[in-house]
Amino acid sequence: MKVMAYTVGDVARLARVSVRALHHYDEIGLVKPTSRTEAGYRLYTERDLVRLQDVLFHRELGFTLEEIARILADPAFDRRGVLMTQRARLLERADRARALVDLIDKTIRALDEGESMSHEEMFDGFDPSRYEDEARERWGGTAEYAESLKRTRRYTQEDWKTIRAEAAAISARLA
């Protein structure tokens, strides 16, 4: 059985990436072509395309090339499990985007109708939990971060309403 091989140009068109990106991925060992022609041209196989797809999925989720290399090099790498996790993350992003679009639509309607929105409505689409991973990464080892977690875990729905109302009042004064 003959193995199908794709040139770097073919792969670039298929994956909608630049030839330069593929050359870079090869140079750093992230996606190395299975073989080369006698003239030195890169040839990619199905296995290489699968790896490139994994790289591009991770890039879409904001991982650095170094992080992607570590993930894919892990002997415990479970492609199906990773894909399921990525799917869940993308669905969360889609939900957040839908909530923000809904909030923008409500805000436009309020503007068009000359009405004002309640302070709670003004901030319904924003989800501060999306910054939790970044905050943990940046400040997770600090006493201030630990104190912040301790405090916010005790907040009730009413506390959050008050906080949002105070934020809205500050924003209104600034405007």
Domain boundaries, the chain: 6-73, 78-116, 127-175
Q: Which fold has domain 6-73?
A: Multidrug-efflux Transporter Regulator; Chain: A; Domain 2 (1.10.1660)
* pTM for this model (two decimals): 0.63
Which of 69, 80, 164, 66 lies closest to 124 in space, CA to CA? 164
Q: Which of 19-28, 60-69, 73-82, 159-168 has the lowest mean pLDDT?
A: 159-168
CB within 8 Å of 115: residues ≥ 6 apart: none
pLDDT in the model for residue 165: 76
Helix, strand, or coil (residue 71): helix
- 74-83 pLDDT tens trace: 999 999 999 9
**Dihedral (Cα; 67, 72, 74, 77), 10-degree rounding:** 120
- 104-117 pLDDT tens trace: 999 999 999 998 88
The Cα-based distances of 47 to 12, 38, 41, 44, 111 in angstroms read 15, 21, 18, 8, 53
pLDDT in the model for residue 79: 93
Which of 59, 60, 54, 65 lies closest to 27 in space, CA to CA? 65
Indicate the residue type of 115.
E
| pLDDT at 161 > cutoff 90 | no
Helix, strand, or coil (residue 125): coil
pLDDT in the model for residue 40: 92
